[in-house]
Amino acid sequence: MKQLLVVLVVVVSICSAQSKCRGNSKIVAACYSVHGRLSLGADTVRVRLWPEGTRRMLGVTGGPSLDDADDPIWPESLKFNSGGDDIYGDFEVCPFTPERKGEMQMVCIESASHLVVRHQSFSK
């Protein structure tokens, strides 16, 4: 019985250590990589990812609905120093919603690499 308990604890630990993004049951398609700019917005979907060279905007959320935008799933290592920062880099995203023309696709971020933080300077 004691061995069974140890095995269960190990399995639960492994499952909880798995990514909340790639392993999420709400993912609707394969994860993919984009190079782009991550920034904070003022709307319902606060964290946004703009894939470079496109007119698309990806909303980083915790699921497919706008109610999920309050708790976005992204690596803990990604941090904005201020609201005026943009983070450029390569991002692996997993979609919560299908890609539709004219609509923001909801995604989570599995990983990020080659990051450069740029502070926007707003001049009057």
Q: Is the pLDDT of residue 121 over 60?
A: yes
**Tally of CB atoms within 10 A around 31:** 17
> Which of the two residues, 10 and 37, has the higher pLDDT score?
37
Question: How many CB atoms are located within 10 Å of the residue 57 CB?
Answer: 16
pTM: 0.80
Q: What is the pLDDT of residue 120?
A: 75
Task: Report d(CA 18, CA 22) in Å as an integer.
Answer: 9
67-78: average pLDDT? 92
Where residue 19 falls among pLDDT bands split at 50, 70, 90? Answer: low
Give the residues across from 59 on adjacent strands.
Answer: 48, 106
What average pLDDT does the chain have? Answer: 84
